[in-house]
Amino acid sequence: MGNVKTQVVSPSGPVVKKSRRHPLLEDEPGKRVCLLGNHSIVRGALEAGVQFFSCYPGTPSSEIGDTIARFAGDEGILFEYSVNEKIAVEIAFAASLAGARSMCAMKHLGLNYAADPVASMPYVGVEGGMVIVSAGDPSAITSPNEQDQRHFCRFLYYPVFDPATPADALRMTRYAFAFSEQTRLPVIMRPTTRVCHGSGMVELGRLPTERNEIGFTKDPPRYVPIPVNARRMRVELSERFRLAEGLLGASEFFPRRGGGRRGVIASGVAYAYAAQVIDDLELSCDVLLQQIGAYPIPEAVLVDFLESVDSVLVVEELTPYVEDRVCLAAFRSGRQIPVLGKHTEHFPVEFEYSPDIVEDAVRAYMGLDKREKTVVSVPELPARPPVLCSGCPHRASFYLVNRVFGKRTVYCNDIGCYTLGYGEPLNACDVLLCMGSSISQASGMSRTTGKRTVAYLGDSTFFHSGLPALANAVQANDAVTVVILDNFVTAMTGFQPSLTSDGEEATGCSRTGCSDSAEGCGGFSIEGAVRGLGVRDVYSANPFDQEASLAALKEAKKAKGLNVVVFHSPCVVNVRRASPNDRRSALRVDQDLCNACSLCVRVLGCPAILATDGEYSIDGELCDGCDLCAELCQQDAIRRVENGDCV
Check which CATH number belongs to the domain holding 528 and give it: 3.40.50.970
Q: Mean pLDDT over residues 362-389, rounded?
A: 89
pLDDT of residue 12: 52
Q: Using pLDDT thresholds of 50, 70 and 90, give the confidence band for residue 510.
A: very low
Q: Do the domain assignments include residue 413?
A: yes
Residues 330 and 404 in one domain: no
Residues 353 and 429 in one domain: no
Q: Do the domain assignments include residue 380?
A: no
CA distances from 103 to 58, 72, 95, 484, 495 (A): 15, 13, 9, 31, 21
**Whether the predicted pLDDT of 308 surpasses 50:** yes
In contact, 543 and 549? CB cutoff 8 Å: yes
Q: State the Cα–Cα distance between residues 262 and 309, nearest whole angstrom.
A: 6
CA distances from 523 to 467, 499, 507, 529, 537 (A): 17, 6, 12, 12, 22
Pick the last residue of a domain from 216, 249, 282: 249
pLDDT of residue 642: 64
Instruction: Choose between 230 and 3: higher pLDDT.
Output: 230
Side-chain half-sphere exposure of 591, counting CA atoms within 13 A: 8
Q: State the Cα–Cα distance between residues 264 and 274, nearest whole angstrom.
A: 8
Q: Using pLDDT thresholds of 50, 70 and 90, give the confidence band for residue 502.
A: low
Residues 47 and 139 in one domain: yes
Q: Using pLDDT thresholds of 50, 70 and 90, give the confidence band for residue 374.
A: confident
Rg from Cα positions in the chain: 27
Q: Using pLDDT thresholds of 50, 70 and 90, give the confidence band for residue 7.
A: very low
pLDDT of residue 578: 87
Q: What is the CATH number of the domain that holds 316?
A: 3.40.50.920
Percentage of the chain exceeding pLDDT 70? 93
Pick the last residue of a domain from 578, 609, 631: 578
**Whether the predicted pLDDT of 513 surpasses 90:** no
Residues 185 and 265 in one domain: no
Strands 339-340 and 160-161, bridge-based pairing:
unpaired
**Whether the predicted pLDDT of 320 surpasses 90:** yes
Burial of 228 (0-12, 13-18, 19+ CB in 10 A): exposed
In contact, 497 and 490? CB cutoff 8 Å: yes
Q: Using pLDDT thresholds of 50, 70 and 90, give the confidence band for residue 644.
A: low
Which tens digit of pLDDT belongs to each residue from 330-353? Answer: 999 999 999 999 999 999 999 999
Q: Mean pLDDT over residues 253-261, rounded?
A: 97
Q: What is the CATH number of the domain that holds 598?
A: 3.30.70.20
Number of neighbouring beta carbons within 10 Å of residue 99: 21
Q: Do the domain assignments include residue 148?
A: yes
Q: Using pLDDT thresholds of 50, 70 and 90, give the confidence band for residue 375.
A: confident
Q: Using pLDDT thresholds of 50, 70 and 90, give the confidence band for residue 435.
A: very high
Question: What is the helix (H) or strand (E) element at residue 412, kind and residue range?
Answer: strand 411-412
Side-chain half-sphere exposure of 170, counting CA atoms within 13 A: 24
Q: Do the domain assignments include residue 556?
A: yes
**Whether the predicted pLDDT of 604 surpasses 90:** yes
Instruction: Choose between 2 and 115: higher pLDDT.
Output: 115
Domain that holds residue 296: 256-366
Q: State the Cα–Cα distance between residues 483 and 87, nearest whole angstrom.
A: 25
CA distances from 5 to 8, 65, 70, 460 (A): 9, 14, 11, 18
Q: Do the domain assignments include residue 189?
A: yes
Q: Mean pLDDT over residues 397-420, rounded?
A: 95
Residues 89 and 237 in one domain: yes
Residues 452 and 520 in one domain: yes
pLDDT of residue 36: 98
Q: Using pLDDT thresholds of 50, 70 and 90, give the confidence band for residue 580.
A: confident
Q: Do the domain assignments include residue 16?
A: no
Which tens digit of pLDDT belongs to each residue from 559-575? Answer: 999 999 999 999 999 99
Q: Mean pLDDT over residues 52-67, rounded?
A: 97
pLDDT of residue 579: 85
What's the chain's average pLDDT? 91
pLDDT of residue 421: 93
Number of neighbouring beta carbons within 10 Å of residue 574: 20
Q: Do the domain assignments include residue 289?
A: yes
pLDDT of residue 508: 39
DSSP bridge pairs for 402: none
Residues 270 and 179 in one domain: no
Residues 529 and 606 in one domain: no
Residues 338 and 413 in one domain: no
Phi/psi of residue 331, each to 5°? Answer: -65, -45
In contact, 609 and 600? CB cutoff 8 Å: yes
Q: Do the domain assignments include residue 496?
A: yes
Number of neighbouring beta carbons within 10 Å of residue 211: 22
Residues 197 and 120 in one domain: yes
Spell out the residues 6+ positions from residue 195 whose beta carbon is closer than 8 angstroms to its own: 37, 163, 164, 165, 166, 168, 169, 268, 269
Residues 570 and 523 in one domain: yes
Which tens digit of pLDDT belongs to each residue from 545-560? Answer: 999 999 999 999 999 9
Residues 146 and 75 in one domain: yes
Instruction: Choose between 523 and 456: higher pLDDT.
Output: 456
Phi/psi of residue 101, each to 5°? Answer: -75, 120
Q: Where are the alpha helices (DSSP H) in 8-84?
A: 37-47, 62-71
Q: State the Cα–Cα distance between residues 238 and 240, nearest whole angstrom.
A: 6
Q: How many domains are contained in the chain? A: 4
Highest mean pLDDT among 20-34, 376-390, 534-548: 534-548
Pick the last residue of a domain from 315, 347, 366: 366
**Whether the predicted pLDDT of 39 surpasses 70:** yes
Which tens digit of pLDDT belongs to each residue from 81-102? Answer: 999 999 999 999 999 999 999 9
Q: Mean pLDDT over residues 424-431, rounded?
A: 94
